[in-house]
Structure 1
Amino acid sequence: MLTNYLKIAWRNLLRNKIFSAINIVGLAVGLATCLLIVLFVLHELSYDRYHTHADRIYRMTTHGRIGGTDINAAGAGAPAASALVRDYTGVEAATRLNTDGSFIVKHGTDSFKEEHVAFVDSNFFTILSIPLATNYSGINPKTMLTEPNTVVLTQTTARKYFGDQNPVGQTLTMGDKGAFRVTGVCEDVPSNTHFHYDFFCSMRSIKQSGKWLNDAMHTYLLLREGYSVDQLRAKSTEMVARYIGPELPQFLGISLAEFLRKGDQLRFQFQPITDIHLHSDYEDELEPNSNVQYIYIFVAIAGFILLLACINFMNLSTAGSAGRAKEVGVRKVMGSERGQLMGQFLAESVLLTFLALLLALVLVAVLLPGFNQLAGKQFGIGAIVSGWMLPGIGLACLLIGLLAGSYPAFVLSAFRPVSVLKGRAVNIGARSGWLRNTLVTVQFVVSITMIVSTILVSRQLNYIQNKKVGFDKEQVLILNDTYTLASKLDAFKAEIAKLSPVVRVTSAGYMPAGSSNSGNNAFQPDNGSVQPETYRNRHYFVDEDYLPTLGIGLAQGRNFSKAFPSDSSAILINEAAARQFGWKNPIGQRLKTAGDGSGEIQRLYTIVGVVRDFHFESMRQRVAPLVLFRGQDNYQMALRVKTDDMPALLKTIEQRWKAQTDMPFTYSFLSERFSLMYASEQRVGQLFGIFAGLAVLIACLGLFGLAAFTTRQRTKEIGVRKVLGASVASIITLLSKDFLKLVLIAIVIASPIAWYAMNRWLQDFAYKIDIEWWVFALAGFLAVGIALLTVSFQSIKAALMNPVRSLRSE
């Protein structure tokens, strides 16, 4: 019987080619979209779950508030790992990871800039499950990182430097840290990890002060089985008193009790390693993390688009029911039971669903490269057809087919033979019009919500890109790794400054976007107070050319100058820092830095200028207080240029560079670095636009089905109206106004939903657009226009129909 069902189903699909094609395409687009989103979501949720003891690994983080500034740091003091293993029995083991910028790595005559270099403890690979390579001899996991200047490479990096040779025992020169001996090779770090490094160097290769308030490192704890992390969290206050309390007099000159009495605070948290990627946005994260809100958004989008596709199937199947009314009547007269008819129609639904699945898999294969580029992933088609995915997809399609075909099956099988053969069967379907109208309304609620979201996301990104950021990011060329020039730097800088397209040159560790040298320090106003307030602020070292090169203005005072030898003890602050310290006229005021743990206050500085606030961090945060020291940080060099022939200028600079060093010449543009800060938001905006377009497309298919159904229901009515003198325009208006009502209802429902959702998203930005009424009006206008265009074909076709044909059966 099943074979007979499928055979008849196939014949019916071929007989109604247009409806079948629309159904299959609509469902295939919905399924393909869902498959892509499922791949993305599952990958995001899988981060760091591959570790053997993932459920017992936690990252120790530091939180608090000093001088009105919140602290949310991804690390903990360098001694934390050993101290917690020693003092708390629930901590079975601990390991640390630290970064120290990029390195120029040399092997023989080859030199490469490597940015993914980490320093780790010797037990790092024991706690975190990054497997060691088995195809190289001489690797001893227990001792490979116990000595200074040893390094473990990933397999890709080992092949990059040593080809097919065994790298174990070979040496690499790591910048100014000298030669490192390769003692191990590990597999490449999995993509679903919150860090990605190519070099894992021994922690003993870098100096550590041993102070909790000096060296912050990413610290991972392995808890004992059965020990709850809540027990460890409950000891945070005790830890601060035990470890931080004794150091506060050395750094801030006050006791822990005085520190707390002033309203300042510190505490430790312990974050599951599996939560880092989606639930963490702290200072000094190893990589930019994602946001769990985006997971919720994409899951909702997948569900909505699949729902729209199922709604389409119901509407189109019901719209085609009038053409099969007599078939149902004849079958019932010949003895077919209602259950057999339902089985027939469900078989058609399931067959159509699996045809849509095949087309969806083809669409996924075609779209996957573009989706990978957009989402920043590396999915292959094998991820769809391997493991439980393919059986799961098949089961889901079976359920979708049964669910989507259930309503048409019940409606069609309920037709009465007598009514059917008299031509009145379609009226049964007409009595269920409220359901079809509801479904189409739901489709347009989703579509309008996504149109509004797309417009607002686009406007927010445009606002960020074009907002005055306090500096001129255009035509600024950044030369990377200029510290490698060492003693030749000044000569190179002077030579570059002579080039006619170069307007200004500055050497600085910090740039307002991209990789930079930066730090935090504690400052105290020198106001004669016995216990002055302590503030924790960002600080950078810049030269006298920094402000004019980047186009940063002064609000008060002056810039650094070589004409003032005393500027070695001078500082600049931004307007946010002036407000923080409570100074209306900061010029001449003095700040002292906190201690370094030796018990002495380091230095006293005089403020000579106040720079206007500029965005040196993402616009997700407000401009924070900033202190600028005078000094030449040689990490990178910025050139303000004015030229119409940038390639020629770059070639000239590269020639000058190669004349000074054999190190790689790399560069970037400040405007591009600034745009990359918002790459995740740009991806979200593009995805929103694509998904909104798909939602509108699927909604239009559903509206087309409802229009087809309605015009069939009202064929004779239209014929009568034309005979009585109704014009084509009046009939088009008559048929279109019902759909317009549905869209208007959808606009009313969708507007508050879209406002709420986008208001929540915009909360992540300190600087954001206002949600204005015209956005909803524009989305509604687009929805109305799209709806009218969709139904116009059916309306015009019905209005132009010869009334003789529609009334012939009367």
Structure 2
Amino acid sequence: MKSYFRFLERNKAYTAVQFIGLAVSLGFVIIVFAYLVQELGKKYEFPYEDTYAVGCDGGTGLGMSYGTKDALDAAMPEIALSSKFSLWNESVAEVGGKELKIERHSADKEFFGIFPLKFLSGSPDVLDDYSNVLLSSRFAAETFPEGDAEGRTLLIDGQAFTVAGVFEMDGDRGVLPYADVIVSIDHPVMYADYIKNPNNNFGPFSVAVRLAPGTDPEDFTAKATKVYEKTFDLAFGLFFNSARVIRLDKLYFSDSGGNYVSGNRNMLLLLSLAGAALLISAVFNYVNLNTALSGKRAKEMAVREIYGMGGNGLYRTWIKESFLFTSICFAAGIIIAVACAPYMEQLSGIHIDLSRSLVPAGILGYLAIIAIVSCISGLIPAFSLSRISAVAITKGEFRFRNKMVFSRLLIVIQNIISIVLICLAITMSRQMRHLMDMPVGADTEDLYFFTDFGENNLSQVLYDGFRALPCVEEVGLASGFPGFVRGGQYGTTADRKDLLYMNLNLDTVAFRMFGFDVLQEYSAVSDRSVWFSEAAMRMAGLDNETHDISLTSLDSRGGYADICGVVSDFAVADAQRRSAADFCILVIRKTEDMLRWGGFVLKTVPDHENAGKMIEDFWRKTLSDAGLPDFTEAFNHYIDDYLSDCMDTARDNGRLVTMFMVLAVMISMLGMVSMSAFYISERAKDIALRRIYGSTVGEEMWHDMRGFMAVVLVADAVAVPLAWWLCGRYLEQFYYRVDVGAWVLAAVVLISLALTAVSVVLQTYRAVTANPVDALRKE
């Protein structure tokens, strides 16, 4: 090893390039790998064998009715265990006269058979008594720091409960969201309406089952579908057509309809690919320089071979040295990972817990990364040397046989990675700007939307108060706004096919504030009259000659009065979720009706910061004066801010790709600089001789740079179609999208050539302007 350290010391610049590139890439690989272990671990948080979440294929996803579990249990003996529960419930707890906002789950005792949380006291059986409540360990410690929680009484949403146990939970557990408390789902007051009409409301309840061993999940799904058809005769075929089951380990990365905690599969894939690309680029640098510099150690290895080291000994030596160097870089990478993880969290909007990877599987993964990098980095230069006899090396023939072929191949692959990442980063940036400029189809400037989603009876007080605020110019009422339409009403098309009409309920003031573009007006506006968008007219099979609302059954099914006209298409969802199939109708309602369940559309002065603060201060004070907590702030945004915030995930992805692109380009340029320096130094005597025989500086510059330029052009030829395809795949997910653009690819080719020129030109210029005599004197 002493000779290896002496070699590194004599070649400090090359060693620095290898170390920086490999350490930085390993640092980010550690972050990505930790996130990978963290996310994949959530899939297996709970036993999943024969355990399934049960739902339907309709819009409610895995959200079902209160009576679904009982219907399945009664008809399907293959169910060994089943549970019904409700997650994500915001509640108000009163403890010792103090009100607290809490997260509540409601469940039966079988819930803990599906999700076996550890009990610190009590047991699942306490839920047989609906007046009992279970507390999480975190909530118990925060609320009862003396440790005397059990037996204490608290109010939850006005109902009295006795603490009968504590379960261990301090955050989300796999697919299970965090809960401060768990109460019985059979509570006769909290769930009175559902107990009375168990199958009238779909969405709030989840069902999970454990099937008897040997049960075919496809057979179970088919049988469950028949149960649905019999039990939900009105909803079946209209809201959904079949049952849907997802095994528990598949649930985390599925579309669960918001009933469970879910992971971001696209983010995981993006990070994994970007981390792999970065590591490959750095390893290529390392291998390239190792192989190139092997010539400087060729005589040392030849002497060792002559003295009996043998071919296997050569491989062992290079692998051991690579393992040592990689391990040192990995240690530096850990420091880089710890320092950069918070920045990655801020950039990507995800939580990364590096400690989650310190499990046996994670540690084995890290060791595998070190071993793979070490083997690749050691075997290739060892193989390069082993092909040449020790005698040939001692005669100096090795240098003349080294034609840079392998190094050029690695440089090509490295540049392909960089070029593709540059294309993706530019395309993502263009697409984000394009989406930000996407027309909403309505006027949203200075419009602020507030709703409590019907959580209290203060609508009239809030309405009068908002109108009195000096920052508010006008107040309308609506159930949503363009870009955030939540409701729907089933009707029919003109040829009597069932169709779900997305609808936006609003009063005439809100209609005017949104400034919809009226294309046709058939009748005067009245209560429950309907404006159709252009797309809604097409979907319904209506036109300017045929527009009787009875053709859509909306008059009988929804109680709508008449179609009063047609407006231009407008956004139903935000830019990320919008599709070509979106359409909507506008239902005009009386202000007094909208006050019961509508939201507030406020036209404010242009000073958003002060106006927003004034509005928020007002509604918080109003709720406080009424003795209500402010958890009802379900929606409290300027509309334009909300639509912009909906782009955060896409922006995060773009920033991540840009960051990895910058790192990959930096590593690629470092490699290009070091490789150009090495090969130009190897040809220093050739350059000196040509200069003596009359070659100009310009001729020599071009002579030495054209080889690197040719390599990059080959990389461009491969990378451009690959980048075109990848960018096209990325853009497919957007309804409103840019074209890949030939100019982008042309610009990237020019950028790659410019980066190569910058990387190589300084080394080349130094070599061709040096004194030829000095170069010829060197051994």
1:141 lines up with 2:124 in the alignment: yes
Change (3 A) 1:112 1:475: farther
Q: Deviations over 1:426-485 (max 9, x none)?
A: 12322xx22111111011111111111111122222222221122344433344538566
After superposition, where does 1:629-644 map in structure 2 within 5 Å? 629=587, 630=589, 631-632=593-594, 633-634=596-597, 636-644=599-607
Q: Is the 8 A contact 1:723 1:803 kept in 2?
A: yes
Q: Aligned partners of 1:805 and 1:419: how far apart in 2?
A: 28
Contact 1:94 1:219 in 2 (8 A): yes
Counterpart for residue 202 of structure 1: 184
Work out which of the residue numbers 38, 44, 56 in structure 2 matches 1:43: 38
Q: Does 2:116 correspond to 1:129?
A: yes
| Mapped pair 1:503 → 2:466 | no
1:170-319 equivalence runs, <5 A: 170=152, 172-175=154-157, 178-179=159-160, 182-186=163-167, 187-193=169-175, 195-204=177-186, 205-206=190-191, 207-208=193-194, 210=197, 212=199, 214-216=201-203, 217-235=205-223, 238-244=226-232, 247-248=233-234, 266-280=241-255, 284-286=257-259, 289-290=262-263, 292-319=265-292
Query: SS state of the match for residue 545, structure 1?
Result: helix
Q: Map 1:142-157 to 2 at 5 A.
A: 142-144=125-127, 147=130, 151-157=133-139
Quick one: which of 595, 610, 617 aligns to 2:573? 617
For residues 802 and 673 of structure 1, the distance between their equivalents in structure 2, rounded to whole angstroms, comes to: 65
**Structure-1 residue corresponding to 2:328:** 355
Task: Give 1:346's aligned amino acid.
Answer: I
The reply on whether 1:796 has 2:765 as its aligned counterpart is yes
The answer as to whether partners of 2:605 and 2:611 remain within 8 angstroms in 1 is: no
State the AA in 2 paired with 1:25. Answer: I
Corresponding position: 1:59 with 2:28? no
1:318, 1:709 within 8 Å by CA — same for their partners in 2? no
- Partner residue of 2:697? 728
Alpha-carbon distance change, 484 to 325 in structure 1, aligned in 2, over 3 angstroms: closer
CA contact (8 A) 1:507 1:634 kept: no
Q: Specify the SS of the correspondent of 1:94.
A: strand
Give the direction of change, closer, same or farther, for the CA distance of 1:745–1:674 in structure 2 (3 Å limit): same
The answer to whether 1:7 aligns with 2:5 is no
Q: Distance in 2 between matches of 1:170 and 1:447?
A: 62
Displacement of 1:334 in angstroms is 5.7
Equivalent position of 2:437 in the other structure = 466
SS of the aligned residue for 1:55 comes to: coil
Following superposition of structure 1 onto structure 2, how do residues 560-709 of structure 1 map, counting pairs within 5 Å? 564=526, 567=527, 569-585=528-544, 589-590=549-550, 603-619=559-575, 620-622=577-579, 624-629=582-587, 630=589, 631-632=593-594, 633-634=596-597, 636-644=599-607, 646-647=609-610, 650-651=613-614, 654-655=617-618, 657-658=620-621, 660-664=625-629, 667-709=636-678
Task: Identify the match of residue 493 of structure 1 among 433, 457, 463.
Answer: 463
Deviation at 1:289, TM superposition (A): 4.0
Q: What SS does the corresponding residue of 2:737 show, helix, strand or coil?
A: coil
Deviation at residue 168 of structure 1 after TM alignment: 4.4
Provide the C-alpha distance between the structure 2 equivalents of 1:42 and 1:608, rounded to a whole number of angstroms.
57
User: How far, CA to CA, are the matches of 1:180 and 1:472 in structure 2?
Assistant: 49
With over 3 angstroms needed to count, the CA separation of the structure-2 counterparts of 1:172 and 1:621, relative to structure 1, is farther
Q: Secondary structure at the match of 1:654?
A: helix
Counterpart CA distance in 2 for 1:644 and 1:294 is: 36
Which residue, 26, 35, 39 being the options, matches 2:21?
Answer: 26
Report the 3-state secondary structure (helix = DSSP H, G, I; strand = E; otherwise coil) of the residue aligned with 1:522.
strand
Tell whether the 8 Å contact from 1:590 to 1:604 is kept in structure 2 after alignment.
no
- Give the secondary structure class of the aligned counterpart of 1:232: helix
- Output the CA distance in 2 between the equivalents of 1:152 and 1:610: 54
Q: Measure how far apart 1:109 and its partner are.
A: 5.0
Which residue identity does 2:431 align to in structure 1?
Answer: Q
Amino acid aligned to 1:642: V
Maintained 8 Å contact 2:55/2:62: yes
Query: 1:779 offset after TM fit, Å?
Result: 1.8
Computed over aligned residues only, the root mean square deviation of the Cα atoms, in angstroms, reads: 3.4
User: Partner of 2:480: helix, strand, or coil?
Assistant: coil
1:238 counterpart letter in structure 2: K
* Alpha-carbon displacement from aligned partner over 1:7-61 (angstroms, at most 9, x marks no partner): 3222222222211121111111222222211122222223341213x12221223
Aligned partners of 1:615, 1:194: CA distance in 2, in Å? 33
Q: Determine the structure 2 residue equivalent to 1:120.
A: 107
Matched with 1:67 is: none
In structure 2, the residue corresponding to 1:46 is in which secondary structure?
A: helix
SS at 1:443 equivalent: helix
> Structure 1 residues 588 and 288, CA, compared in 2 at 3 Å: closer, same or farther?
farther
Alignment size in residue pairs = 758
Quickly say closer, same or farther: Cα 1:713–1:374, change in 2 above 3 A. Answer: same
Q: Shift of the alpha carbon at 1:722? A: 0.7
**Structure 1 residues 243 and 305, CA, compared in 2 at 3 Å: closer, same or farther?**
same
CA distance in 2, matches of 1:716, 1:193: 66
**Quick one: structure 1 residues 765 and 150, their matched pair in 2 at CA, closer, same or farther if it must change by over 3 Å?**
farther
Q: Is the 8 A contact 1:587 1:608 kept in 2?
A: no
Give the CA deviation at 1:356.
0.7
Q: Secondary structure at the match of 1:92?
A: strand
- Alignment correspondent of 2:384: 411
2:564 counterpart SS class:
strand
Question: If the length of structure 2 is used for normalisation, what is the TM-score?
Answer: 0.88
1:439 to 410, 413, 416: 410
Residues 634 and 110 from structure 1, CA distance in 2 versus in 1: closer, same or farther, beyond 3 angstroms?
Answer: farther
Cα separation, partners in 2 of 1:755 and 1:180, compared to 1, 3 Å:
farther
Give the letter for the 2:706 counterpart. K
Sort the Cα spacing of 1:157 and 1:639 in 2 relative to 1 into closer, same or farther, 3 A.
farther
Q: CA 1:94–1:391 in 2, change beyond 3 Å: closer, same or farther?
A: closer
> Once the two structures are superposed, what CA deviation does each residue of 1:624-662 show, in whole Å capped at 9, x if it has no partner?
333444231546433221233723662476157525534
- 1-side partners of 2:405 and 2:519: how far apart? 65
1:92 deviation in Å?
1.6
Q: Encode CA deviations 1:539-568: one digit per residue, 9 max, x unaligned.
A: 44433333344454444439997xx5xx1x
AA partner of residue 762 (structure 1): L
The 2-side partners of 1:323 and 1:315 are apart by 14
**Residue 710 (structure 2) aligns with:** 741
Q: Structure 1 residues 199 and 100, CA, compared in 2 at 3 Å: closer, same or farther?
A: same
Q: Where in structure 2 are there 5+ consecutive unaligned residues?
A: none
Structure 1: 5+ residue stretches without partners: 1-5, 65-70
TM-score, reference length from structure 1? 0.84
Corresponding residue SS for 1:73? coil
